[in-house]
Structure 1
Amino acid sequence: MPDEPIISDPFINTDDINKAPVKLPRLLSLDALRGFDMFWIMSGEGVVHALAKATNWPVLLWMSGQLHHTEWNGITFYDMIFPLFLFIAGVSMPYSIGNKLTRAGISSANYLPFAEKKKIYGPMIRRTLILIFLGMVVNGLFKWNGYEHTRFASVLGRIGLAWFFAGLIYLNFNLKQQIIWFAALLLGYWAAMMLIPVPGYGAGVLTMNGSLESYIDRLLLPGRLHDKVHDPEGILSTIPAIGTALLGIFTGQFLKYDSIKWPMWKKGIALFIGGLLLIAVGSLWNLTFPINKRLWTSSFVLFVGGWSMVLLSVFYFIIDVAGYRKWAFPFVLIGVNSIIIYLAAEGMIDFEYTANYLFGGLIQYASQSWQQVWLAISIVVTQLVMLWFLYRNKIFLKI
């Protein structure tokens, strides 16, 4: 059985924490899972949509349908991409500061002296602010069209804020207290959404217009909302998103736990079973508090958190326990530079133009119905070549 490795984290530069540039082994399954997650939004969805249109095969049509967000209640695979990334960021945190705990001879981050925590808080605040700013850039900040037309909430902003506050809980409370925080966040959000009345709608209304979350967005969120009356990355729904990051932190602490009673294979099984239990609890809660990605409901946190644990357990078993790693290399290329490819795919690089320039001469000989398929595949190839070049030259963006 291989030694249990330390993982990468695109949000934490370990040099900031350890004060020495140490080359650390990686938990490859987490890099691969992060890459698998990002693959679908960078270009993978385009391949599936094109194949579904070209072939009309039922399985591909179903997959294509899963690569769209639900309009309101319910869930698709596409709805899980964002929270899975946040979950992975949470898993990374216990590893990222693990060396500092080991050198201090303590078992829990909340026992760190305040002077040592201050060295961690600064980089955390800086990275959160950078993610908020980058999220606004993705939303079109540099295409300034007035304050009222600027969307300040964003995917990256939510990741930064939820990761930051989950990190504060991890650094200042022991595991039992962290679990209490997790339960309080989910139950408190549920109680607020169901019991606090919204003017003109009343209490417990979970529509886009009438929900408390939407009302808070209209009341407090500056600039333009994503859906005019509601923002899926709004203020109130960031609270349960902290719970998503905390689930990742719990998972990271468990995987990092060193005991002969818990070898890697047993951890993988426990993670899989724990994920199934969370899926079951989330499904039951869905009966009274619907699974809803736009509201980031508490049932959504548990349901998607459960699937995140199941997916991680599968990748962990195959890659880190069984040692089958070569197949995951394309996902690793994406996972170790996830921020770069996210920003690039969101409009900073026109991959379609580049792919057309490189492969358009060949693609034109394909039948009309298959030209979009080959174009979508060529976009994937172009992106992977760029990521391979960055990987080969050890260029990694760590915010």
Structure 2
Amino acid sequence: MLKKERYYSLDVFRGMTVALMITVNNPGSWSHVYAPLDHAQWAGCTPTDLVFPFFLFVVGNAMAFVIPRLREAGDKAFLSKVIRRSLLIFGIGLFLNWFPFIKWDGDHIVAKGWENIRIFGVLQRIAVAYLFGSLIIYYCKTKTAIALSVAILLIYWWLCYVLGSPGDPYSLQGWFGTKMVDIPILGTNHMYHGEGVPFDPEGIASSMAPVVQVIIGYLTGRYIRLKGKSYEMVTHLFVAGALLLFVGAFWGQFFIISKKIWTSTFVLLSSGWALIILAVIIYFIELKSKRTWLDKFFNVFGKNPLFIFVLSGLLPRLLWMIRIPAGTENGQPVYTNPLAWFYDHVCKPVFANEYNSSLLYAICFIVFMWVIVYFMDKKKIYIKV
């Protein structure tokens, strides 16, 4: 029987994930980011690469507490809620990509046309993974969900190997997803170009494996509820995490570990770390009753995760539109914006090492976001979709 216990540690883990996601997305300078706070160029895994899959794990984890109520409400209520929520999250992500709908073109403001707007992104991936993960979890028994998860990971590996370029199927140029799926469906103008070529790390082709991340999160949450707050539960989570790490690392000898194409090995490795870190947090918070200022700091992020993540994306885009005169260059006026001004005049003078200045800016930004969610929590304002 599922135990109806409150897990403060799960709120802390969710808040930690959201806070780190915002922090690594907002450095003072993208040219001065410490390696652990930056993504791996292609293959490999840094601490920053773990943040997004942790978020998907958290989505599945929360479902372990919601699915039983949805089953009681019936299929119609379940489908209505899941489809509506998925569309809403996807729509918010698309809105974020388009916002603020205008841009500077020289000295004039012009509209940002739909023809160059990226369709997919972080929230869109969450929406897709949540939708299909929910359907599998709701309609399948646990053993079937596990079997389907294994099948998805193996099928994705097979597709990458068979359809990729011979001898180089997992590289940026050799991966099958861009030319065979994303470009034909999305078009190059609606894709990410951060790699120098049209390639979308959150596109359609790489959306299979993230579904498994949600399912693993759900199975973890369900197991936590079944076992309750016990040393046995924490031990099993830790062992399961270590096992996933081992399998992911071993499989990684044949199928690269890469967030960019969200490989099956990346799912196992990142889920393993999520289980281990969650087990440690549960151990100290739930079993040892040790709470510090740090868990209180993260907890408020966990209560308004989607809202504060969206706000952290909207606010910089809005402030980037504000021009502040910053002298001239070659006879032409030069402008800055409030965020760049803050970095140049407040953060950079503090340190001689610009990597530290860039990190200081990110810390200032996350503290500012914390103040917002802290006062929302005090006022009992919780925005959910």
Shorter-chain TM-score category? 0.7 to 0.9
Post-superposition Cα deviations, 1:72-98, rounded to whole Å, max 9, x if no partner, equal 111111111111100110011121133
Post-superposition Cα deviations, 1:314-360, rounded to whole Å, max 9, x if no partner, equal 11111122222343111011111111111111133659959989x99
1:385 and 2:371 are equivalent in the alignment: yes
Amino acid at match of 1:235: I
Residues in 2 aligned to 1:324 and 1:356: alpha-carbon distance in whole angstroms: 41
Residues in 2 aligned to 1:320 and 1:280: alpha-carbon distance in whole angstroms: 27
SS in 2 for 1:73: coil
1:1-399 alignment, distance < 5 Å:
5=4, 26-43=6-23, 64-99=34-69, 116-141=74-99, 142-143=101-102, 145-196=112-163, 201-202=165-166, 205-215=169-179, 216-222=181-187, 223-227=189-193, 228-258=197-227, 264-327=230-293, 328-348=295-315, 353=338, 376-399=362-385
Residues in 2 aligned to 1:329 and 1:140: alpha-carbon distance in whole angstroms: 34
CA RMSD of aligned residues (A): 3.2
Residues in 1 aligned to 2:79 and 2:309: alpha-carbon distance in whole angstroms: 25
Residues in 1 aligned to 2:168 and 2:362: alpha-carbon distance in whole angstroms: 44
Change over 3 Å in CA distance of 1:151–1:45 after alignment to 2: closer
Q: Check the 8 A contact 1:356/1:375 in 2, yes or no.
A: no
- Aligned pair count reads 349
Q: Check the 8 A contact 1:354/1:382 in 2, yes or no.
A: no
- Structure 2: gaps spanning 5 or more residues: 103-110, 321-336
Q: Residue 123 of structure 1: CA displacement?
A: 1.3
TM-score of the superposed pair, with normalisation by structure 2: 0.81
Residues in 1 aligned to 2:382 and 2:216: alpha-carbon distance in whole angstroms: 26
Q: Check the 8 A contact 1:289/1:299 in 2, yes or no.
A: yes
Q: Residue 375 of structure 1: CA displacement?
A: 5.0
Change over 3 Å in CA distance of 1:218–1:341 after alignment to 2: same
Question: Which deviates more, 283-292 or 90-99?
Answer: 90-99
SS in 1 for 2:98: coil
Q: Check the 8 A contact 2:240/2:275 in 1, yes or no.
A: yes
Question: Which deviates more, 121-130 or 314-323?
Answer: 314-323
Question: Which deviates more, 121-130 or 367-376?
Answer: 367-376
Residues in 1 aligned to 2:18 and 2:365: alpha-carbon distance in whole angstroms: 14
Residues in 2 aligned to 1:219 and 1:301: alpha-carbon distance in whole angstroms: 26
Amino acid at match of 1:36: M
Match of 1:109 in 2: none
Residues in 2 aligned to 1:231 and 1:372: alpha-carbon distance in whole angstroms: 26
Q: Residue 175 of structure 1: CA displacement?
A: 0.6
Question: Which deviates more, 154-163 or 202-211?
Answer: 202-211
Q: Check the 8 A contact 1:37/1:81 in 2, yes or no.
A: yes
**What's the % identity of the aligned pairs?**
28
Residues in 2 aligned to 1:281 and 1:251: alpha-carbon distance in whole angstroms: 18
SS in 2 for 1:281: helix
Amino acid at match of 2:299: V
Change over 3 Å in CA distance of 1:175–1:382 after alignment to 2: same
Post-superposition Cα deviations, 1:126-160, rounded to whole Å, max 9, x if no partner, equal 11111111111221253463343111011101101
Residues in 2 aligned to 1:147 and 1:46: alpha-carbon distance in whole angstroms: 25
Match of 1:15 in 2: none
TM-score of the superposed pair, with normalisation by structure 1: 0.78
Residues in 1 aligned to 2:7 and 2:53: alpha-carbon distance in whole angstroms: 20
Residues in 1 aligned to 2:253 and 2:133: alpha-carbon distance in whole angstroms: 28
SS in 1 for 2:190: coil
Q: Check the 8 A contact 2:303/2:382 in 1, yes or no.
A: yes
- Structure 1: gaps spanning 5 or more residues: 7-25, 54-60, 105-114
Match of 2:326 in 1: none
Change over 3 Å in CA distance of 1:39–1:355 after alignment to 2: farther
Residues in 2 aligned to 1:356 and 1:324: alpha-carbon distance in whole angstroms: 41
Post-superposition Cα deviations, 1:213-251, rounded to whole Å, max 9, x if no partner, equal 122111222442113432101112111111111111111
SS in 1 for 2:205: coil
Change over 3 Å in CA distance of 1:242–1:45 after alignment to 2: closer
Amino acid at match of 1:178: A
